[in-house]
RNA sequence: GAUAAUGUAGCUCAAUCGGGUAGAGCAACUGACUCAUAAUCAGUGGGUUGUCGGUUCGAUUCCGACCAUAAUCACCA
């Protein structure tokens, strides 16, 4: 292709928004990550140096509390989530060059660097503000962690920022009977010094930047509203306890998660540069960099990416994004994803039932460069995949492959390079490339499918099934088939960014190296192809139903009341029956020399005495126990301990320390009785 | 409540940047064909472009009001 050979290879860095480490990836996330991946694969196919990076966004109060609740460190919690996220993306054929974490050394260094530069340049302010504070947990409460009665309509159990019932909005300090959602305590007002980023210093820069082709028109309009409303200073600090990075020179103050989240793009790239010789961080991020930086984001986080982020970069001497690509939300059958309808589909749930390339193709087929919401209509989804992919595209190969295979030994004809249909398919390359480049994926598909239509018409008009029966016309069939397979190859290149795995199967069938965009002009002739095997199956609507059904079940399970300490795996009665629980009388209790936690108990089971070492010293004095009845596991295998043999366990409840309570049978129970 | 959006055939979407007799794919129907994962090809039907009003020789496209939908904001930004 002449025109792109004139183009210099570009250096392009691409990012998707960093998924928050507090939950699973769902198909809404996939809308973004798939369109990013398609764009990235397209650029790579064209021969550019295109690097895509992502990471988990790991900081903030919700993560901290979630980890506490699950009894693990935040570090362990986010590490596990990252594994899950990465696996989901990989299985959807989303190929990041690097998938990092915002909780990384690179990110800490870059966050500090950017902050220090902003601070030195006078872009940071400090002032004291008053916020609700949980006196029990000793932490400041974000709005969402305060609940109470709506000051307007009096509805109970409303969040700190607005009322679900009457729609009123207010500040959390206005709530009646406010309660901390963390501890249940009544919050108090407390002063604290906060750090602010003076966004207003960048107003004129931003006004120019946002009208300079870096954002979509719809976004630029939205930004005008925000400019008109007036920019505000941005509160970038949070007080300890907070899971994040401490602000340099400000002990006990942490960067608000949204400060280090976008810096995570740079950190992930930095991490990659350190692993690769051919990448230089400064080439991409210096203020005068000629490389491109493209961010793909949802419309909900436009503010952060088009105001704060460019301002932070500008103020700290880095380059600004080339383009911020915002997309709308994913709806299913025209409405918001709903857990109860089963349309809130997790990435994993989808993968349990359907081929990822179905969804990749469907997204491709309907995406535009606009910020409008994207509707996944399930009926349309089935129709679109089956008709476009199977009936039109793959069908071209499927219907001529048998001629080539059976009648011509798998050998293609010679001299088809000038065939008008091949020329036409090749001629669409630049138009399609432009659609890709501008994210008009839907238009690209329309263009591609119209070529597929022409190929199918061509086969019909040539009637190879008739010609093959006549010796004089039979050789023409080899030409017709070769033309079709060449068009098929070209279509495969056009579609490859969306359906890479299918393309790989096509490459195996055509007996060619991995196809590149430049292969569009290479014509396959006078060579052999392999036996045709179908590259994709029709969608079975039953599988789609099964997926929705599983989504419903998940939702039902999730909405059931959850125990903070989840139940162990279910057991059979026979498992329970193995445990012999007995009522016992504590005849003697004494301290154990040298033991920190243990008491030595003599337990009477109606004549038989058992000796048990119990870790309840922190909660009970020996004299309080003597003469009491309690319950023990009597058939536990005796265990030799440092201080002697323990012949069972007494049952106690509680988290430990002083909070430990042994069980007491009700009045009338006698030592030795079986508990069942 | 405020703001900017969106509302086009049964379904999903198009309609050149500041107006000139509404297009495509799928579905439906009719016919052809049998090479192909019952696919494909030819053809037909189907829209007073959310409603009402205005500007204009003429509006899906401009203006106003209303209705519907989802979104953003109302110091999280």
A150 is in an annotated binding site: yes
Confidence class for position A4, pLDDT limits 50, 70, 90? very low
Number of other residues whose CB lies within 10 A of the CB of residue A400: 24
Name the most confidently modeled range: A110-114, A216-220, A576-580, A670-674.
A110-114
pLDDT at position A226 is 82
Residue at shortest CA–C1' distance from B76: A143
Where on strand B do bases come within 7 A of a protein Cβ?
1, 3-6, 11-14, 24-27, 33-37, 39-42, 69-77
Closest nucleotide (CA of A463 to C1')? B35
Q: What's the burial of A159, exposed, middle or buried (CB within 10 Å: 0-12/13-18/19+)?
A: middle
Instruction: Assess contact for A271 and A241: CB atoms under 8 A.
Output: no
Q: Is the CB of A540 within 7 Å of strand B?
A: no
Distance CA A493, CA A429 (A): 10
Q: What's the burial of A588, exposed, middle or buried (CB within 10 Å: 0-12/13-18/19+)?
A: middle
- A78-107, pLDDT tens digit by residue? 999 999 999 999 999 999 999 999 999 999
Number of other residues whose CB lies within 10 A of the CB of residue A629: 20
pTM of the predicted model as reported, rounded to 2 decimal places: 0.83
Closest nucleotide (CA of A170 to C1')? B74
CA atoms within 13 A on the CB side of A63: 26
* Å between CA of A548 and C1' of B30: 37
Lowest average pLDDT, out of A170-184, A516-530, A563-577, goes to A563-577
* Å between CA of A457 and C1' of B60: 33
Rounded to two decimals, the ipTM of the complex is 0.90
Q: Is the CB of A481 within 7 Å of strand B?
A: no
Does residue A650 register a pLDDT over 70? yes
Judged by DSSP in three states, A56 sits in: strand
Mean pLDDT for A401-412 is 94
Lowest average pLDDT, out of A164-178, A332-346, A477-491, goes to A164-178
Lowest average pLDDT, out of A66-70, A120-124, A422-426, goes to A66-70
Number of helices (H), then strands (E), in chain A: 24, 28
* Å between CA of A547 and C1' of B10: 26
A2-6 long-range Cβ contacts below 8 angstroms, 24+ apart:
A3/A430, A4/A46, A4/A47, A4/A430, A4/A433, A4/A517, A5/A518
* Å between CA of A535 and C1' of B33: 25
Confidence class for position A3, pLDDT limits 50, 70, 90? very low
**Is the backbone of residue A15 left (phi > 0), alpha (psi -120 to 50) or beta?**
beta
A553-559 long-range Cβ contacts below 8 angstroms, 24+ apart:
A554/A339, A554/A346, A554/A349, A555/A339, A555/A340, A555/A342, A555/A344, A558/A339, A559/A339
* Å between CA of A38 and C1' of B36: 29
Instruction: Assess contact for A363 and A37: CB atoms under 8 A.
Output: no
Instruction: Assess contact for A393 and A364: CB atoms under 8 A.
Output: no
Closest nucleotide (CA of A224 to C1')? B4
Distances (CA, A) of A145 to A129, A171, A646: 18, 12, 47
For chain A residues 169-188, those near strand B by a CB cutoff of 7 A are 169-171
Distance CA A26, CA A666 (A): 51
Q: Would you say domain A356-528 falls under CATH 1.10.730.10?
A: yes
Confidence class for position A502, pLDDT limits 50, 70, 90? very high
Start-to-end Cα distance in chain A:
81
Packing angle between helix A429-437 and helix A27-45, nearest 10 degrees? 130
pLDDT at position A167 is 56
Q: Which two tokens stand for residue A50?
A: 């295109």
Confidence class for position A154, pLDDT limits 50, 70, 90? low
* Å between CA of A373 and C1' of B59: 27
Residue at shortest CA–C1' distance from B27: A383
In sequence order, what are the beta bridge partners of A180? Answer: A146
Number of other residues whose CB lies within 10 A of the CB of residue A203: 14
Closest nucleotide (CA of A397 to C1')? B36
Percentage of chain A exceeding pLDDT 70: 92
* Å between CA of A19 and C1' of B67: 38
Distance CA A561, CA A550 (A): 19
pLDDT at position A155 is 67
Number of other residues whose CB lies within 10 A of the CB of residue A27: 23
Closest nucleotide (CA of A373 to C1')? B70
Which stretch of DSSP H or E encloses residue A115?
helix A105-120
pLDDT at position A5 is 43
pLDDT at position A13 is 97
- A189-210, pLDDT tens digit by residue? 889 999 999 999 999 899 888 8
A50 is in an annotated binding site: no
Does residue A564 register a pLDDT over 90? no
A339 is in an annotated binding site: yes
Residue at shortest CA–C1' distance from B4: A222
Sheet arrangement for strand A237-239: A237-239, A250-255, A246-247
Q: Where in chain A is the domain with CATH 1.10.730.10?
A: 356-528
A128-154 in b/e form (b: 16+ CB < 10 A) is eeebbbbeebebbbbeebbbbbbeeee
Beta strands in A160-291 (DSSP E): 176-180, 188-197, 234-235, 237-239, 246-247, 250-255
Beta strands in A18-87 (DSSP E): 49-56
Does residue A389 register a pLDDT over 70? yes
Q: What's the mean pLDDT when you consider all of chain A?
A: 88
Give the torsion sign (CA, A80, A86, A89, A90).
Answer: negative
Higher confidence at residue A25 or residue A647?
A25
For chain A residues 274-313, those near strand B by a CB cutoff of 7 A are 299-300, 303-304, 307-308
Does residue A635 register a pLDDT over 90? no
Domain at A573-674: CATH architecture? Beta Barrel (2.40)
- A593-602, pLDDT tens digit by residue? 777 788 889 8
Q: Would you say domain A11-116+235-327 falls under CATH 3.40.50.620?
A: yes
Percentage of chain A exceeding pLDDT 90: 55
For chain A residues 372-431, those near strand B by a CB cutoff of 7 A are 372-375, 377, 379-380, 383, 386-388, 390-392, 394-395, 398-400, 402-403
Q: Is the CB of A459 within 7 Å of strand B?
A: yes
Instruction: Assess contact for A64 and A396: CB atoms under 8 A.
Output: no
* Å between CA of A534 and C1' of B58: 54
Q: Is the CB of A447 within 7 Å of strand B?
A: no
Lowest average pLDDT, out of A5-9, A232-236, A386-390, goes to A5-9
Lowest average pLDDT, out of A137-146, A307-316, A542-551, A600-609, goes to A137-146
Q: Where in chain A is the domain with CATH 3.40.50.620?
A: 11-116+235-327
For chain A residues 330-359, those near strand B by a CB cutoff of 7 A are 331, 334-336
Residues present in chain A in total: 676
Mean pLDDT for A336-356 is 87
Distance CA A645, CA A610 (A): 10
A484 is in an annotated binding site: no
pLDDT at position A617 is 82
Q: Where in chain A is the domain with CATH 2.40.50.140?
A: 573-674
Closest nucleotide (CA of A452 to C1')? B40
* Å between CA of A200 and C1' of B77: 13
Which stretch of DSSP H or E encloses residue A651?
none
* Å between CA of A518 and C1' of B16: 30
- A220-267, pLDDT tens digit by residue? 878 887 887 788 889 999 998 899 999 999 999 999 999 999 999 999
* Å between CA of A320 and C1' of B34: 60
Pairing of strands A335-336, A330-332: antiparallel
A273 is in an annotated binding site: no
pLDDT at position A570 is 63
Distance CA A316, CA A308 (A): 12
Instruction: Assess contact for A221 and A156: CB atoms under 8 A.
Output: no
* Å between CA of A280 and C1' of B61: 49
Higher confidence at residue A14 or residue A560?
A14
* Å between CA of A21 and C1' of B25: 40
Q: Which two tokens stand for residue A243?
A: 């899971």
Task: Assign 3-class secondary structure to A501-567.
Answer: HHHHHHHHHHCCCCCCHHHHHCCCCCCECCCCCCCCCCCCHHHHHHHHHHHHHHHHHHHCCCCCCCC
Q: Is the CB of A73 within 7 Å of strand B?
A: no
Distance CA A367, CA A498 (A): 12
Distance CA A197, CA A125 (A): 6
Instruction: Assess contact for A502 and A536: CB atoms under 8 A.
Output: yes
Instruction: Assess contact for A411 and A552: CB atoms under 8 A.
Output: no
Number of other residues whose CB lies within 10 A of the CB of residue A20: 20
Closest nucleotide (CA of A502 to C1')? B37
């Amino acid at each position: 292709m002449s025109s792109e050979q004139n183009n210099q290879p570009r250096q392009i860095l691409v990012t998707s928004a960093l998924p928050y480490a507090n939950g699973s990836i769902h198909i809404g996330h996939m809308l973004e990550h798939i369109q990013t991946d398609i764009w990235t694969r397209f650029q790579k196919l064209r021969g550019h140096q295109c690097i895509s990076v992502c990471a988990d966004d790991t900081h903030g109060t919700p993560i901290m509390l979630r980890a506490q609740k699950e009894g693990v460190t935040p570090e362990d919690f986010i590490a596990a989530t990252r594994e899950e996220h990465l696996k989901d993306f990989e299985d959807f054929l989303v190929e990041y060059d690097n998938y990092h974490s915002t909780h990384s050394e690179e990110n800490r260094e870059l966050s500090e660097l950017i902050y220090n530069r902003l601070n030195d340049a006078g872009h940071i302010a400090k002032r004291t503000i008053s916020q609700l504070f949980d006196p029990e947990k000793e932490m400041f409460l974000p709005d969402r962690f305060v609940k109470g009665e709506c000051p307007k309509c009096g509805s109970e159990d409303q969040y700190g920022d607005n009322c679900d019932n009457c729609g009123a909005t207010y500040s959390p300090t206005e709530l009646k009977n406010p309660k901390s959602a963390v501890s249940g305590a009544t919050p108090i007002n407390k002063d604290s010094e906060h750090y602010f980023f003076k966004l207003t210093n960048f107003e004129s820069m931003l006004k120019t930047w946002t009208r300079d082709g870096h954002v979509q028109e719809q976004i630029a309009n939205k930004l005008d509203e925000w400019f008109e409303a007036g920019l505000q200073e941005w509160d970038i600090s949070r007080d300890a306890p907070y899971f994040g990075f401490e602000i340099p020179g400000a002990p006990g103050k942490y960067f608000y998660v949204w400060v280090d989240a976008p810096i995570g793009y740079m950190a992930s790239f930095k991490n990659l540069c350190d692993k690769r010789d051919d990448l230089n961080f400064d080439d991409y991020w210096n203020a005068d960099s000629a490389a491109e930086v493209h961010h793909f984001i949802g419309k909900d986080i436009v503010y952060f990416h088009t105001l704060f982020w460019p301002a932070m970069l500008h103020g700290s001497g880095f380059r600004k994004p080339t383009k911020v690509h915002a997309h709308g939300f994913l709806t299913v059958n025209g409405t918001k994803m709903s857990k109860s309808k089963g349309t809130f589909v997790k990435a994993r749930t989808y993968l349990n039932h359907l081929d990822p390339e179905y969804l990749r193709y469907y997204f491709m087929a309907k995406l535009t460069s606009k910020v409008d919401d994207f509707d996944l209509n399930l009926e349309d989804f089935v129709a679109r995949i089956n008709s476009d992919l199977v009936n039109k595209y793959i069908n071209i190969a499927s219907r001529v492959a048998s001629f080539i295979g059976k009648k011509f030994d798998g050998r293609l004809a010679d001299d088809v390079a000038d065939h008008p249909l091949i020329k036409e398919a090749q001629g669409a390359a630049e138009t399609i490339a432009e659609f890709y480049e501008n994210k008009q994926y839907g238009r690209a598909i329309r263009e591609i499918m119209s070529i597929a239509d022409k190929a199918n018409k061509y086969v019909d008009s040539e009637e190879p099934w008739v010609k093959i029966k006549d010796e004089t016309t039979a050789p023409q069939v080899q030409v017709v088939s070769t033309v079709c397979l060449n068009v098929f190859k070209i279509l495969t290149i056009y579609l490859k960014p969306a359906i890479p795995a299918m393309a790989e199967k096509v490459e195996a069938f055509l007996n060619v190296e991995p196809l590149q965009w430049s292969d569009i002009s290479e014509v396959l002739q006078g060579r052999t192809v392999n036996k045709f095997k179908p590259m994709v199956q029709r969608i079975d609507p039953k599988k789609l139903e099964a997926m929705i059904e599983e989504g419903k079940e998940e939702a039902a399970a999730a909405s059931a009341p959850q125990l903070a300490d989840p139940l162990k795996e279910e057991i059979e009665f026979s498992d329970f029956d193995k445990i012999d629980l007995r009522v016992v009388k504590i005849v003697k209790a004494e301290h154990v020399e040298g033991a920190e936690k243990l008491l030595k108990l003599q337990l009477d089971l109606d004549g038989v005495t058992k000796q048990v070492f119990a870790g309840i010293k922190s909660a009970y004095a020996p004299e309080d126990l003597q003469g009491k009845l309690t319950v023990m596991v009597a058939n536990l295998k005796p265990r030799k301990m440092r201080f002697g043999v323990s012949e069972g366990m007494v049952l106690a409840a509680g988290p430990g320390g002083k909070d430990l309570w042994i069980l007491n049978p009700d009045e009338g129970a006698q030592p030795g009785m079986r508990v069942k």
